[in-house]
Every structure is written in C-alpha cells, then in structure tokens.
Structure 1
Amino acid sequence: MKTRFKKLLLVSTGLTLLASTLIGCSKGGEGASNTVAPSDNKPKVTWETAPKITVAMNMVASAQSAFGKTGDDQQDNPYTRYIFEKTGIRLVPIYYPGTGDEFKQKLAVELAGGKQIDMFQYFDVQQEWMDNGTIVPINDKLKQYKDKMPNMTANVPQAVWEGSSRNNGQNYGFPTRPALGNPNLSYFWVRKDWVDKLGLQMPKTTDDLTSLMKAFVKNDPDGNGKNDTFGMVPRKNFGQMNEWMTFLGANPWSDVVIDGKRMNPYATENGRYAFKTVQSWFKDGLIDQEGITDDKAQETKIVNNKVGIVETNGTIVLDYARKLLQNGFKDAKWAMVENPIVNSKDGKFYANAPGSKHQSITFVTSIAKDWDSITKLMDWFYSPEGTFFTEMGLPGKEHTVEGGKPVYNNAYVTDGKSYLGMYGFGRSYNHVNSEAFLAKYKDEPSLLELANKYASILAKDYDKYVVPTDRSSLLFPGLAVFKQYPDYRKGIDTYQAKFFLGNLDPLDDAAWKAFLDENNKYGMDKVYEAVQKEVEKSTAKK
C-alpha cells in the first residue's frame, strides 16, 4: 500500500468554538432555523425548497423506541433540521425495520416500484447489488467532485477506500464509521497494577503475551496466596479464539491466495503456528476454560480480580474497571497495550480492527442524480463540525457545554431518547483524539486516550506493520457461497473444540493433514471453491 495515513489531527483547540457554534445554532435542537442564509447572491434556501436526498436505513429497535419516547417525526426532527441548517440539504430518511435480509428485500421492492432512493447504508458490498445494477462504481464521480469534497479528501485515508472497495479498486459508496459513543476498537488490555507489582513489561510480541499470562498465573498477582488467577478468559464459545487467531496471523474471516488458489488462513503455516499457540494457552492453564461454556464467566472472573488480560473494546473495559472499584479492588488499573503486538513468527502485525476498517458503507444507488447535494452532504459529515455532531449530538440533548467544554449527557442516552446514531453517515478518521470524545469519560480519560493512541499507531505505521489480506466475498458471501456456508459454520465449533482442547499437534504434518481433512467434511473446501468462483465471475465482468 503506497499511500500512508495522514497524521491524526487534533481538534481540541477548535472544540470551544465548535461547541459555541452548535449552541448558538440549535438551542437544544428544538429551535432550528427554517432557512439557510444566502451565499453568492443566491436566494435563501428554505426547508420547503431545499434539495432532498433520500436515504434508506435499517431502523434499529433503540431508535424506534427513541422516536416513540420523544414524539419526533422521523423525517422532520431536530437532527434533520440541524443537518439542513448546516448544509442547506434536506435529509429524508426512510426506515426499514427488521434484519439485514428483510432490509435488502424491502429495498429491492421499493426500487423496483420506482421509489426514488438516493443512498442507503449497509455493512458491506453485496454481489447481488452489483449483478442487478442497484449500485454501480462511483470512482469517476469521486474524481469529478474531489475538489468539492475537501474534508473527505483530507480525512478518509486511502487504505479505507481500498478496504471498502471490490473488483480491483471499484468503490460503490462512501466508507462509514459509526458515532464514537460506543468505541468498538478491540485490542488487548492489561492489568497495569499487576504488571508493575511483578516487575514486568507490557508485551510487544505474541511470545511476550504468552510470558505475561504465565506470570499472571504462577506469581500470585492478587496476593491471596492461592493459584487462582488467569491470563485470559474467553467470551462464551470459540468466537473470541477467532480474534486471537487473527492477531497470531490467521484471520478466519479473510482468505489468502496461495498458488492462485483461495484458502482458509487456518490451512497456512501461520495458521498452524496460531493453532499451536492458542492450544498451548489452554494446555498450560493460561486460559480459563470456563469461559467457553459460561457466557458470564469472563465478566465474573475479571471484576472479581482474577484475570490479568482481556481482548475487548474500551467501553467494556471501562465498565469492568468501574465494577472492580465497586467490588473493593481500588488499586486495579487497566492499560491498553500501546504498541501493536507483532507476531513472533514473522514480526508482522495482524490487526483485528485495522486502520482500513469501515463499519459500513453509505451506498449511492444507480438512479441517484443530484451529485452536487450528495457530495456536499457527505463532505459535511467528514468535516470537524460534522464529526463533532456525530460524536456529541445536539447541545441540550446528548451534551451540554460546561466551562467551554462539551460534556456528554449520559442521562439522555440512558433514558432512551437519543437517536443520534441513526445519522452516522460518515465521520472523520483524523479526529480520534478529540476532547469531545474524552469528555464523555472525563473521570477515567486514560483508558480512552490509550484506545485512541492505538488507532493513531495503526494510522501512522499501517504500511509497516499490517499484513493486508485479499478478502473477497467470504465474510459477506455472495449467493453461491451462501449455499455452502451454513454447514461450514455449523462445524466450526466442533472441530475447534477438538483442536484447542485435544491432543492434535499442529506441527505434525500427518496430524495436521488429518485435521484439515476433517475440517473439509464441514465444507471448508466447498466454501473456498465457491469463493474462488465468485471472484472469477466478478473479475470476468470487469
């Protein structure tokens, strides 16, 4: 990847100005103006005359509940009014309740019936949409309007565009990140007080991680004289083991190409090493196996001072830290590993949430025509002002301003009245260090600062550390893959249980081949054959 991430920008100096601007414009979000001031001698744009951009969205239950509690109109409310006030564009959301499949079906019916839908959000590109013309590449439009999208140009790294593209760099929409309210960055967090007590260092390699877990198990970090502490406890089932396998170089949700053939990373040398490492964690007692069958074991053990490392996101760790304090463990301090933990086998970093991560894509339909409004609207979301709105919401609702600084209003969210997250069409990738974010957690800001530091490291050193995978349609499979996928997924827990808790030696060639043969009984080979065909079909069309 030739284009490096731009250095992260700090927006702390502009927050006070932004906050006062937001307050002055919104007055709690209830008195938004009905007009936008004219510019360049153009007539005033009113709510009634403003250009409309219709966006189809999946209506999550929490947002549906929020509309019910506030009594707000789904299309004319303080949030859509605020967006109009800032852009001169009237956002017209159309909500489709239900699951992803129901959303796709509803979208197809409405488009077939002639309904004008300009954009819609979904978690990734679907093969069927490319096949039936619902979406078409927008690369030419992105080039045409580049000068009119300065915020998007500055604040969306090239790696993100590449990560959300298909068919040799074709983009079908805008990569999107959600509101920062619940950061979903997942990485390793360590009990720093245990590290300091035992005179240890934070891990820099996967071997260091193993050594640290051994110390937490054998050296009585909680000081009770008993051998009752663990390195880690998994969440229920083997889902988290897939995340650990990713950091060890075998991401099960991506595919690799070897000699022209697409393969499950499990079947590679890194896969063998990853399996061997996780297996040894179980065999050596570094992992509490109770977490495999008990979905409450992870939290129970952690908040009762029995676990030294957890791989999860900052929001969950913050909750664990508070519960440890409530349980009387006043010295407990969590710290996120600041550096990428590189694979000891090859010195590379395999990210579970890499710098190119996009949460979803805001697609532009093939029938959309008003590209002036589309690009203006989307560019605003990636601006500091739009990012601030996506992070903090409206003054008097999601946040207030105290002493010139925005403070998040947890009560409003807890009461179920906030539907800010429904408008996260985009957000700058450069503002992860903003004080607006940290203000939500002003009592324990260090945890979030570390999470942001990790994001910064990935952005700065992405090319150096991260090994890109050639992900095709495995995670978001096309129709052909779906026919094979369920049986494959059904067997994953079965063969992983036999492996992680069994006696197979991944480094024994004969035993490893037998393991892969058993894996194939559940359809692994069929899945990858289908993936290969999907990719070949897409490439042939180009």
Structure 2
Amino acid sequence: MRKANVVCTMVAFILVCSIAAGCSDSGSSATAPNGSGQPQGQEKKEERTLKMMSGVIGGKTPEENTLFEKEIERLTGIKAKLDKPASDYDQKLLAAIASGEKFDLLQVSKEKMNLFIEQGVLAPLTDQVKGSKVLQDPDVLPPQEWEQVKTKDGKIYGVFTKFQGGTMPIVRNDWLKKLNLQEPKTFDDYYKVLKAFTEQDPDGNGKKDTYGLSTAGMYELQGFFSGAGLKQRYVEKDGKLDVPYSTDAAIPVYEWLNKLYKEGILDPNFATNDTGKMRNLFLTDRVGMITYWDAWVGMLNNTRKQQDASTVFEAKGLPGVAGPNGSYMLRRGDPDVWVIPVNAEHPKTAFEFIEWWHSKEGIVLGSMGIKDNDYTENGGKYELTKTGQEHAMDHGVPFWYNKKFPNPFGLLPGVKDAQDLVLKYATLELTPPKWADAEKIINEYSFKAIQGQMPAAEAVKKMREQLKANKLID
C-alpha cells in the first residue's frame, strides 16, 4: 500500500505540474490567451479522438482490442486508442500516469476513483451529468443510483460503466432438493444444510468427498455476518470510522465458522483459495455452497448446461442469514466508472463517449462485442458467433441499466432472482483509501479465529488492537 501511495503522490505532482505549465503557456500568448493558438473567440475545435485505459472493457486479446478500437470509430466516428493491460491493471494505471502519460478516459473502481479524487487527479463531471439528457433519463440510469458515486459534498466524478451487482451465498439447489432440505435462513439452518452436503453423499458417488461450504478467504462472507447485523469493511457513525468485523458482535459468527472448519464442513483450503479454485469446486460437485457474485449464478448454470444439456445442476442465490431484526444484509459491489483526468486533452469527446456508452450501440459493444466477430445482426435479430458464445456477452458490460434495450437473449438461469436479492438487500461498502492495510489485519485474525489457532474473542481483541495501533479505526 505504501508503494501505491508513493505512486499516487507522484501522479498528483505530475498532474499539478502539467496543469501549471498549461496555464503558463496560455498566459504568455498575446494572440491566444485561451491557450488554443487561435485568436480569442475562435478556439480550435476539439479533435474527436480518445486515449483510453481500461481493465475489463475491450477485447479479450490484443488483436481484439484493435478490432474494438475500430468498432468504436465505426459506430461513433471517434478515433480511439485503448490501452488494456493483460494483468495488474491498477498498478499499471498508476505507473502510466506517474510517468507522464495523458489519458482522456479511464475505467476505474469507485475505490480508485475516491483515491484519485483525493489526489486531485480527476475532473468533476457534476454539471455535465446534471445537464445530460441521456444520463438524466430514468430509463437509462435510475436517479437513486447516483448516490453510489457522489462525494460527501454532492459532486460527481465518475459515470457508471455497467450495472454492478452484489455478492451472496450461492447454493446447489439441486442438492437441496435431492436431500429434501429447505432453504436455510438461520445459522442453525445453514449448519444443518452444510453438514448434510458434507455427510450425505449429495453427488451420489458413494464417497465422502464433498464439503458444505467453500470460500476464497474472507471473500465474501457478508451473507453470514448479516446474521449478526454486521456490515463488511467500514461503517461511519458520528464522524468516526469503525470495522464491524472487529467488534465483539462478530465473535459468534467466527465461532460458528470455526465449528464448520473443525467438523470438516468448511473447505480446509478456504484461506488460500482464489475465486477460480472455489468456483471449480462448485462446478465439479465437490462443494454445495460458495459465496460469490449474483452474475455467476447464471454463468455457473450455463457452464454446466453447455457441458451437459441434461444436467440437473442448479445454482441459486440466497439472501444469507437473517439478522437480529429479521432483515438481511448483502454486499453491493463498488461500481466501475468512467472518469476523466484533469489533464485530458479531449474532455468533451470523452464525455460524449460516456453518454454514447449508455446507448443501444454502446451497450451492444460492451456486452455482445464486435460485429461480425462476436455477433451478427439481421433486421434487429442478433446471433452470437462461436467466438461470441465463448465470450459470454461480456466485453466489460455483462449487465446494464438502460431499460430501453432489454437483453436480446434474455438472462441466464437464476440471474434475475439473484439480482432481485441484491436490489432488495444489498448496500455499498464504505472503502476508505487505507482499506488494503486494514484488510491484511482483518484477514490475519479472522483466519486464526476460523481455523481455531486462537479463540474468537481473543482474535477479535487482537484485531481491534492492531487496527487502532495503525490508526485504521477511530
């Protein structure tokens, strides 16, 4: 995190210097105080070109990124240059800007947006957004969604790239049916279901080789901490920041998870799993429940259906454990947004592109992909090519807000119900800039509590002491 902060400081310094230099140049021109090289009142019209950087939006290969650029130009007339690193996007983004590269448009997470706002890297878009007929259309972007990206003083620096869902427990619903089990609602219900998945041979192979639950570390246990009414990451009360997972109220949840671990119900490799390993266990009949994104309910169902058209496999999203007041608490994912740096050379074109991104053509590109490469279209009827089927309608926009353009293929099985749970029960997390530092401490002591290396009460006490000592909670 220290390295990232140093790079961000460099970013801010370079941007300030470039802005200052721009002001100096414009002030020294007698004939062009507007800095355009043209007489006043005759500013040069901005070129319709964009330099963009994205982590997920674009083609699936470098060659497809080139096709993606050409498709943008075909559809909008904007000549685009898309930089899409194959890995380590955030680090490469920071390094590129720190080295002096200028971009017109960046795709970033809300967490990174907040960091960039602090560093003075981003241009505010409040007036443009409020004045945009496209972005103010409630059928294009629901008005209440803007609260996700507004700063405390009501400013807007980023515009959604897609509809961002949420996370939840995902269960093998076919296993529930096979074992005559009801959907769980309480901690006791979940224990009974997960124990049955472990001991009653739900895959029918005659071997005791299944687990009730697998996770990728602490990702995403919000659905279980919901049972104690605790929000993941940070909460703010009376101007003070706190981490609910480090409070005494979390102790019973850690003890419950430790019980699963001790009895072999929780995958013993949960702490070192990545999300790919977790998903693979679910897809290969090794585990009956995972904690993951709503979108993956459909993708898991579709994957198994593609492998075997007659499969009984059925993934289903659950709302988690009911809290003390009977309500549920799920996590809404931080939105991905388009942002415009303060030193962008083509900011008007960048905002024009942002508006276009929420149109039918923009949505088709972000979801289906490139015409004649990922899909064909005839008289308004779309058909995915073999390549398009492999890309699963996700070139950065698997789901979108615009109600005027419904998904022409419909949603994958189970997704609609899972998304309804998100919209009903999920809220955004509060993620301050030093979250990565806090997360290391939270994970360390959470794992010790769950794996029984330390009593839950002691682990919570140590966690809290470390968070306070590092000034990560107030």
The answer, yes or no, to whether TM exceeds 0.5 is: yes
1:62-211 matches, cutoff 5 A = 63=59, 65-67=61-63, 72=66, 77-84=70-77, 90-95=78-83, 97=85, 99-110=89-100, 117-124=103-110, 125-126=112-113, 129-143=116-130, 145-147=131-133, 149-151=135-137, 153-177=138-162, 186-205=167-186, 207-211=188-192
CA distance in 2, matches of 1:146, 1:300: 44
What is the aligned partner in structure 1 of residue 285 from structure 2? Answer: 305
| 1:193–1:331 contact (8 Å) kept in structure 2 | no
Distance 1:331 1:171 in 2: 47
Aligned partners of 2:404, 2:194: CA distance in 1, in Å?
30
List aligned pairs for 1:235-274, cutoff 5 A.
235=216, 238-240=217-219, 242=221, 247-248=226-227, 249-252=229-232, 254-258=233-237, 260-268=239-247, 270-274=249-253
Structure 1 residues 208 and 146, CA, compared in 2 at 3 Å: closer, same or farther?
farther
2:384 to 408, 412, 422: 408
Q: CA deviation at 1:362?
A: 0.8
TM-score (normalizing by structure 1): 0.64
- Please, which of 389, 397, 416 is the counterpart of residue 452 of structure 1? 416
Query: What does the per-residue CA deviation read over 1:120-151, in whole Å, with 9 as the maximum and x for residues that have no partner?
Result: 222234556334533243223322x1435454
Q: Which residue of 34, 50, 55 maps to 1:54?
A: 50
Give 1:314's aligned residue. Answer: 297
Q: Distance in 2 between matches of 1:352 and 1:336?
A: 17
Aligned counterpart in structure 1 of residue 467 of structure 2, from 481, 502, 524: 524
Task: Give 1:402-481 correspondences, 5 Å limit.
Answer: 405-411=381-387, 421=395, 428-430=400-402, 434-438=406-410, 448-459=412-423, 461=424, 465-466=425-426, 469=429, 471-473=430-432, 477=433, 481=434
- Give the match's secondary structure for 1:421: coil
Inter-CA distance 186–242: structure 2 relative to 1 (3 Å threshold) = closer
| Superposed CA offset, 1:153-199 (max 9, x none) | 43323443222233343211212228xxxx98643332233222222
CA deviation vs aligned residue, 1:192-227 (integer Å, no higher than 9, x gap): 332222222233455533332233234443445555
Q: Which runs of 5+ in 2 are unaligned?
A: 1-44
Secondary structure of 2:52's counterpart equals strand
- Cα 1:59–1:99 change in 2 (3 A) is closer
Q: Distance in 2 between matches of 1:110 and 1:54?
A: 17
Number of residue pairs the alignment of both structures matches: 422
Moved more, 260-269 or 55-64: 55-64
Identical residues among aligned pairs (%): 20
- Cα distance in 1 for partners of 2:55, 2:206 equals 52
Q: Could you tell me whether the CA contact under 8 Å between 1:324 and 1:332 is conserved in 2? A: no
TM-score (norm 2): 0.72
- Could you tell me which residue of structure 2 aligns to residue 364 of structure 1? 340
CA–CA distance in structure 2, aligned partners of residues 56 and 290 of structure 1: 39
Q: Deviations over 1:481-525 (max 9, x none)?
A: 48xx55x5555554233210217554xxxxx2x32342256x422
Q: Which residue does the alignment assign to 1:345?
A: 324
Going from structure 1 to structure 2, the CA distance change for 1:211 and 1:281 (only over 3 Å counts) comes to same
Partner of 1:276: 255
d(CA) in 1 for partners of 2:282, 2:120: 50
Deviations 1:23-67 (A, max 9, x none): xxxxxxxxxxxxxxxxxxxxxxxxxx9951524304779959433
Q: Judging changes above 3 Å, is the alpha-carbon distance between structure 1 residues 434 and 214 closer, same or farther for their aligned structure 2 residues?
A: farther
- Letter of the 1:309 partner, please give it: M
> 2: distance between equivalents of 1:341 and 1:395?
40
1:495 to 445, 462, 474: 445
Aligned-pair RMSD on alpha carbons?
4.2
Q: Which moved more, 1:309-318 or 1:190-199?
A: 309-318
